[in-house]
């Protein structure tokens, strides 16, 4: 016989509501919560929930699930720290990230929480999720001559085929035309690389790492008659196209680079060695949608008069930007008040690159 003080059992939450609640949690908590019940384990392990969680992380205006990845100089150790902490706190404590690969590697890009890694010794690529610590199987060996060096590379998700793809562009050794290329494409899960010959890649890219926007990888390159062009490789069509750059007016750009802020393509260039001017394409592929977003002063970032390489990495909803620079390890710029800040990353490890990724449950294994 039930006692008067016994509360009736609570009805279980509807599955849709439970998914919405769980999607707001960080990956580390979700990995622990798999042990709560068979139902929770099934939900968290489902690919549809991974997409829901990724969307929730991507649209978060506070960037609470965006992280800065810092590979160390050994090439075998990685640390990461919260972007939200860097934007709001003067001191940030990074986390060590378990990394099982034992060879030196190069990061070819990040997309949907997955990092694309190239093994410098074995000539293959694989995917790695820093949040879940899962690593994909190796791709087939990519056949290139020993003296061939990629002009540029990139990694992204082809929404047409539903495949993650990595792209490497090499000069065509069989052609006298310096702009003719050999492009190698690998769709993760396939058994071989696709080689595309004869594509024209006008000019030399100013930054070899292509930026993924609009189902395409994008590079700024030098064009004819001392002009700059934006080159785009469509991952669905697997072909190059040109995008129109903004009308710079009297600001003659020197060595512009591509970047991504708020899921929009940007072009950044140094103006009179005083500011980094950032233009943003609000609607991908539409020239008229280019707007001048901000000008980041870099006088305080110079060392012995040298201007460092500067690249905006991400921007919060209130206009605070995390900036990459070769001279200063972490820089934050508040575009509303025009103030530079220098948060400290408390670590005894020395890193040489910085990449942004989003915490996600997306599996790298296909």
Q: What is the pLDDT of residues 295-334, one digit of tens each?
A: 999 888 887 778 788 899 999 999 999 998 887 778 999 9
Predicted local distance difference test score (pLDDT) of residue 178: 60
Phi-psi region of 112 (alpha: psi -120 to 50; beta: other; left: phi over 0): left
Q: For residue range 111-141, what is the model confidence (pLDDT) as tens digits?
A: 999 999 998 777 889 999 999 999 999 999 8
pTM score, whole prediction: 0.90
Catalogue the E-assigned strands of 23-144: 66-71, 78-82, 91-92, 95-97, 105-111, 114-119, 125-129, 134-135
Among 4-8, 159-163, 232-236, which stretch is predicted with the lowest mean pLDDT? 4-8
Section 95-112 average pLDDT: 82
Return the domain boundaries, the chain.
15-45, 48-358
Section 224-241 average pLDDT: 85
Predicted local distance difference test score (pLDDT) of residue 250: 74
Section 72-94 average pLDDT: 86
Higher pLDDT, 13 or 267: 267
Residues 40-72 as b or e (16 or more Cβ within 10 Å = b): eeebbeeeebbebbbebbeebeebebbbbbbbb
Section 206-219 average pLDDT: 93
Among 184-198, 239-253, 327-341, which stretch is predicted with the lowest mean pLDDT? 239-253
Higher pLDDT, 2 or 310: 310
Q: DSSP string covering 217-280, please?
A: EEEEEE-GGG-EEEEEEETTTTEEEEEPPP--TT---EEEEEEEETTEEEEEEEETTTEEEEEE
Section 333-345 average pLDDT: 93
Cα angle 182, 129, 317 (rounded to 5 degrees) comes to 95
Share of residues in the chain with pLDDT > 90 (%): 55
3 pLDDT more than 60: no
Predicted local distance difference test score (pLDDT) of residue 71: 84
Predicted local distance difference test score (pLDDT) of residue 293: 95
Per-residue pLDDT band for 217 (boundaries 50, 70, 90) equals very high
Q: For residue range 34-50, what is the model confidence (pLDDT) as tens digits?
A: 999 999 999 999 999 99
Phi-psi region of 47 (alpha: psi -120 to 50; beta: other; left: phi over 0): alpha
218 pLDDT more than 80: yes
Domain 48-358 has CATH 2.120.10.30: yes
Predicted local distance difference test score (pLDDT) of residue 33: 94
Share of residues in the chain with pLDDT > 70 (%): 90
């Amino acid at each position: 016989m039930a006692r008067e003080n016994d509360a009736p059992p609570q009805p279980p939450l509807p599955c849709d509501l439970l998914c919405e609640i769980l999607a707001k949690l960080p990956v580390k908590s979700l990995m622990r919560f798999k042990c709560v019940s068979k139902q929770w384990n099934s939900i968290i392990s489902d690919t549809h929930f991974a997409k829901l969680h990724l969307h929730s992380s991507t649209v978060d205006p506070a960037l609470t699930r965006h992280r800065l990845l810092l590979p160390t100089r050994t090439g075998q150790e990685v640390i990461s720290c919260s972007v939200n902490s860097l934007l709001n706190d003067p001191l940030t404590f990074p986390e060590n990230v378990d990394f099982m690969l034992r060879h030196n590697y190069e990061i070819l890009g990040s997309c949907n929480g997955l990092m694309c890694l190239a093994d410098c010794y074995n000539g293959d690529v694989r995917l790695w999720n820093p949040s879940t610590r899962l690593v994909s199987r190796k791709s087939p060996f990519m056949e290139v001559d020993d003296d061939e060096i990629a002009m540029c590379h990139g990694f992204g998700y082809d929404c047409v085929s539903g495949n993650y793809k990595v792209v490497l562009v090499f000069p065509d050794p069989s052609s006298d035309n310096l702009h003719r290329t050999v492009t190698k494409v690998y769709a993760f899960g396939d058994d071989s690389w696709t080689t595309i010959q004869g594509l024209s890649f006008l000019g030399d890219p100013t930054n070899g790492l292509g930026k993924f926007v609009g189902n395409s990888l994008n590079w700024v390159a030098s064009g004819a008659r001392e002009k700059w062009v934006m080159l785009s490789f469509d991952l669905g069509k697997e072909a190059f196209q040109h995008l129109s750059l903004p009308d710079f007016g009297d600001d003659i750009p020197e060595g512009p680079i591509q970047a991504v802020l708020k899921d929009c393509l940007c072009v950044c260039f140094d103006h009179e060695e005083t500011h980094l001017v950032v233009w943003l394409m609000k609607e991908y592929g539409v020239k008229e949608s280019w707007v001048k977003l901000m000008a980041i002063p870099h006088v305080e970032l110079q060392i012995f008069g040298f201007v460092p390489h500067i690249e905006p990495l991400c921007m919060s909803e209130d206009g605070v930007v995390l900036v990459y620079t070769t001279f200063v390890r972490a820089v934050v710029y508040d575009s509303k008040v025009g103030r530079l800040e220098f948060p400290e990353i408390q670590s005894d490890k020395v890193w040489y690159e910085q990449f942004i990724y989003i915490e996600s449950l997306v599996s790298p294994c296909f």
